[in-house]
Structure 1
Amino acid sequence: MNTELTLVIMAAGLGSRFGGDKQLAALGPAGEPMLVLSIMSAIRSGFQRAVLVIRPELETELTEILTRFLPADFAYHFCYQALTDLPEAAQLADISHRLKPWGTAHALWSARHLVKGPMAVINADDFYGDSAFASLAKGLSMRPTEWMMVAYPIELTLSEHGGVNRGLCQVENGQLKSVAEWLNIAEQAGELVGDGPQGHASLPPASLVSMTCWGFSPSIFDVIKRELTEFIGQQDQQPKSECYLPAIVQAGIEQGLPVYVDVACEPWLGVTYPQDTVWVKQKLTELLSD
């Protein structure tokens, strides 16, 4: 098996709540976007290449940014998250009404031809810290055929400016037992609440969440193929429905695949709303300035 470590960055999002392309926002101390900070962290941890899943209209500007900030010898590749790039069995569905691609599981599916070995998978617009990539590199090198994640305490991942979406994790003995997508998580009247699989409910403040900081072997693509095909068969008349990566991971767990968990020891930072940018820039400057 190819053991070269690849960083897959999902950078095709529209940033509807942010009001623009978050993946291009100049947030670092030198004006770097978050994805550049992540790539630099990954390089320091031993990752040899990156694959960026993007929309075609972002390629020119991203190329300029990466050329400016990255070492000249670091290999990176672009691929597009195209609405019609689906598993063969799903191509029979009528998607003429579809308004956008199929979510984060579909984004990773788009990278399948460019990844042959163990991979880390992250969002383009989040800051994870060096230690997260060190954990991923160590885990993927030790267990290149297994899956893993770096989880974050939920209270460190919220926004003061509105609700956020998170994958809520149940962890036992260092392994992930379940992960479920929760939407619109926010603090109300002194407690955390959100919309989970069973509807609106409260969450324990010590909960661990997925911030899309995953480690996978290429076996993830087989699970995506099956689950995405089933999802599209069930949801093909919904113009905005999305198949999330936590659902794919949950399907793998139910198949008996172990998913190892490390807990982050550095802050996660991200911008969900425009109002988040000032605080995030300040924190990044504090964390990264010499």
Structure 2
Amino acid sequence: MKPTLLILAAGMASRYGSMKQIDGFGPNGETIIDYSIHDAIKAGFGKISFIIREEFLDSFKSIFEPKLKGRGVEVDYVFQNFDLTPFGIDKEIERAKPWGTAHAVLAARNQINEPFCVINADDYYGYDSFEKMAKFLTTEADDTHYALVGYQIDRTLSDHGSVSRGVCEVNALGNMTEVNERTEVYFKEDGSVAYKDTTGEHPLPNETRVSMNFWGFTPAVFQQSEPMFREFVMANEENPKAEFFIPLVADKLIKTGTASFKVIPTGSKWFGVTYKEDKEIVQKSISELVANGVYPANLWN
């Protein structure tokens, strides 16, 4: 059974100022999602599922369905909303934004019956990552063995300031033992990497692996994470900014011995867009990939 690509695209993009999920970055207006889908199809994925807000549906259909018609992949849509009754929670909780990435994954629980991977809509991951994840999902994944792609930290940083990164601790078996969120990671003048916290500056080896939200699961994760979500909602009903993130689920599955997470190393360079100022950098990065023959100038021709 071919795996599914689940794309997290329901974000409100408040810091970007418009719908960055469908903004054009390629030479012919290609979105970042276009490049992820192109790489996923090439790697052997059989279905593309978009997690979106329902009001985005017409836009997504008009942009992506003409491109994907006849390409041998199924396309469907999952709506992330504020309705908690499907999770057995009979109360309305006032919120301005959805409940986070792990809640978005749970929204797909009735539409995915095969191994799948989860990515962000506004991040570029590189073909190597999709190829390795497809192999894992079709040959290794089971209901207690999941994965994430681990990016080399110096291939995810910005030349324009510090960033936050989830730094993976990996054991001798190649499995993640925990993810530590480092909120101020940056290049030093000599090209080495460091992070700062309340105790000062600390070096990080350039080959340190970080999570960029590229996860691989089987459908068992829905049943495993749903009780966690109910507990999270009850504990955070008075906190409108609390979000149920995928690393929270992964951490609990690891610590309870329910599942392991293989860290799949990749040499791909990651880049993404958070602020409007990032657009020019992303456009330049894609132009370089096209110039180097990684992608054709017109991706879908």
TM-score by length of 2: 0.86
Amino acid at match of 1:77: D
Confirm or deny: 8 A CA contact 2:195 2:204 kept in the other structure: no
The equivalent residue for 2:125 is: 128
1:136-180 alpha-carbon deviations (Å, 9 max, x no partner): 011111123130111112232233455544322111221111124
Residues 63 and 263 of structure 1: is their aligned pair in 2 closer, same or farther, counting only changes over 3 Å? same
1:282 shift after superposition: 1.1
> C-alpha distance in 2, partners of 1:254/1:127?
30
> C-alpha distance in 1, partners of 2:9/2:18?
12
Residues 141 and 186 of structure 1: is their aligned pair in 2 closer, same or farther, counting only changes over 3 Å? same
Confirm or deny: 8 A CA contact 1:179 1:249 kept in the other structure: no
Greater Cα offset, 205-214 or 3-12: 205-214
The equivalent residue for 2:114 is: 117
1:103 shift after superposition: 0.5
1:215-261 alpha-carbon deviations (Å, 9 max, x no partner): 10111112221221121111110111111101111111112212111
Confirm or deny: 8 A CA contact 2:157 2:187 kept in the other structure: no
Partner SS, residue 113 of structure 1: coil
> C-alpha distance in 1, partners of 2:85/2:26?
35
Unpaired stretches in structure 2, ≥5 consecutive residues: 294-301
Confirm or deny: 8 A CA contact 1:159 1:276 kept in the other structure: no
Residues 35 and 194 of structure 1: is their aligned pair in 2 closer, same or farther, counting only changes over 3 Å? farther
Amino acid at match of 1:219: A
**How many aligned residue pairs are there?**
283
Residues 21 and 75 of structure 1: is their aligned pair in 2 closer, same or farther, counting only changes over 3 Å? same
1:283 shift after superposition: 1.1
1:93 shift after superposition: 5.0
Rg comparison, structure with higher value: 2
> C-alpha distance in 2, partners of 1:82/1:137?
29
Q: Does 1:103 align with 2:100?
A: yes
The equivalent residue for 1:77 is: 76
Confirm or deny: 8 A CA contact 1:36 1:70 kept in the other structure: no
Confirm or deny: 8 A CA contact 1:32 1:69 kept in the other structure: no
Amino acid at match of 1:208: R
% identity of equivalent residues: 34
1:29-73 alpha-carbon deviations (Å, 9 max, x no partner): 321111111111000000000111001221111111113432434
> C-alpha distance in 2, partners of 1:37/1:142?
25
Instruction: Kindly report which structure 2 residues correspond to 1:1-290, keeping only aligned pairs within 5 A, or say none.
Output: 3-72=1-70, 73-85=72-84, 88-89=87-88, 91-92=89-90, 94-96=92-94, 98-145=95-142, 146-161=145-160, 164-173=163-172, 174-183=174-183, 185-187=184-186, 192-193=194-195, 202=202, 204-206=204-206, 207-256=208-257, 257-289=259-291, 290=293
> C-alpha distance in 2, partners of 1:20/1:131?
30
Partner SS, residue 178 of structure 2: strand
Amino acid at match of 1:6: T
Residues 194 and 6 of structure 1: is their aligned pair in 2 closer, same or farther, counting only changes over 3 Å? farther
Residues 51 and 95 of structure 1: is their aligned pair in 2 closer, same or farther, counting only changes over 3 Å? same
Greater Cα offset, 152-161 or 256-265: 152-161
Greater Cα offset, 210-219 or 198-207: 198-207
Confirm or deny: 8 A CA contact 2:84 2:92 kept in the other structure: no
Unpaired stretches in structure 1, ≥5 consecutive residues: none
> C-alpha distance in 2, partners of 1:182/1:155?
14
> C-alpha distance in 1, partners of 2:86/2:196?
32
TM-score by length of 1: 0.89
Partner SS, residue 267 of structure 2: coil
Partner SS, residue 122 of structure 1: strand
Confirm or deny: 8 A CA contact 2:2 2:44 kept in the other structure: no
Confirm or deny: 8 A CA contact 2:84 2:90 kept in the other structure: no
1:203 shift after superposition: 6.3
Amino acid at match of 1:178: E
> C-alpha distance in 2, partners of 1:7/1:199?
40
